[in-house]
Amino acid sequence: MSLLSIKGLQVGFGGVRVLHGIDIDVAAGALVAIVGANGAGKTTLLRALSRLLPLQAGSITYDGRDLGGVAPHHVTRMGLVHVPQGRQIIPTLSVEDNLLIGAGSLPGLSRAEIDARLAGEFERFPVLRDRRKIPGGSLSGGEQQMLAVSRALMMRPRVLMLDEPSLGLAPQIITGIFSALRALAASGVTVLLVEQVAFAALKIADHGYVLQNGRIVMSGPPADLLQDPALISRYLG
Ligand SMILES: Nc1ncnc2c1ncn2[C@@H]1O[C@H](COP(=O)(O)OP(=O)(O)OP(=O)(O)O)[C@@H](O)[C@H]1O
Ligand SMILES: [Mg+2]
């Protein structure tokens, strides 16, 4: 059974429909990539999953529970954590304080537990330890993305959802971030990666979906999708 199941999802803004009946299944522990061009509806999909946007039709089932009426902060507490497009770290706060905000969104964590999680994140991305006292805004783009991922991981999610972590980064930096995501999935965290860089994302994924104009137009094992000449020419432009 899948950990996250999306059925017939329709989402829009006012009278404008953006997602036209999306079906997606995410197995526990898998890394699933949803790739699509500019404006395909990737951010809208993740915001709907985080319950930041109302559903017009369809359902989202997570760990056997219907997320329809669940508030965004409860979604987070249930273990579904969203790394938003554009990182959205707090530039004036130190790296360490940005990470503490991640832990702060969960009530009742002991100081010892927070310190253990912080140490774990510094081990995952040692550059964040080196820079823990400096403002988040003075990190490079790649380091800010690591910080955004780490901040989310401070919540120990069961499902990590990432909205275009590659945005604005050099290929070599993207490779580094993506291998951290692969390692995360190998450690048992379910990863839902939404991306415009289709090749790189599908290469690390266990399962892939192609989103075009608010519809899933292809899905399957990444190796099959990558062999399909239509992937780039027709859907990813
Ligand atoms: N707040 C909004 N009000 C009205 N329309 C919106 C709003 N947000 C997004 N849209 C429209 O919904 C469609 C999908 O947008 P979305 O941001 O989900 O795409 P995306 O795949 O994330 O694109 P990108 O790769 O540029 O981030 C676009 O046509 C966009 O103009
Ligand atoms: Mg987007």
Q: Which of 104, 127, 156 is the last residue of a domain?
A: 156
Same domain assignment for residues 14 and 73: yes
Q: Which of 132, 156, 180 is the last residue of a domain?
A: 156
Same domain assignment for residues 168 and 147: no
Query: CB of 84 closer than 6 A to ligand 1?
Result: no
pLDDT in the model for residue 237: 56
Torsion angle (degrees, nearest 10) of CA 59, 202, 189, 100: -90
Whether 88 maps to a domain, the answer reads: no
Q: Is 24 a residue whose pLDDT tops 90?
A: yes
pLDDT in the model for residue 233: 74
Query: CB of 18 closer than 6 A to ligand 1?
Result: yes
pLDDT in the model for residue 149: 97
Whether 227 maps to a domain, the answer reads: yes
Q: Which of 110, 126, 156 is the last residue of a domain?
A: 156
Average pLDDT over residues 13-35: 96
Q: Is 1 a residue whose pLDDT tops 90?
A: no
Average pLDDT over residues 103-115: 87
- In the chain, the number of structural domains is 2
Whether 9 maps to a domain, the answer reads: yes
Residue whose Cα lies nearest atom 28 of ligand 1: it is: 39
In whole angstroms, give the CA distance from residue 62 to residue 83: 18
Same domain assignment for residues 232 and 163: yes
Whether 208 maps to a domain, the answer reads: yes
Average per-residue pLDDT for the chain = 94
Query: CB of 196 closer than 6 A to ligand 1?
Result: yes
Average pLDDT over residues 204-227: 95
Percentages helix, strand, coil for the chain (3-state, rounded to 5) are 40, 30, 30
Which residues span the domain enclosing 141?
A: 94-156
Residue whose Cα lies nearest atom 3 of ligand 1: it is: 13
Same domain assignment for residues 12 and 70: yes
Same domain assignment for residues 145 and 43: no
Query: CB of 85 closer than 6 A to ligand 1?
Result: yes
Average pLDDT over residues 21-27: 97
pLDDT in tens, 150-191: 999 999 999 999 999 999 999 999 999 999 999 999 999 999
Whether 113 maps to a domain, the answer reads: yes
Both tokens assigned to 13: 């803004």
The pLDDT-based confidence of 102 (bands split at 50, 70, 90) is confident
Whether 87 maps to a domain, the answer reads: no
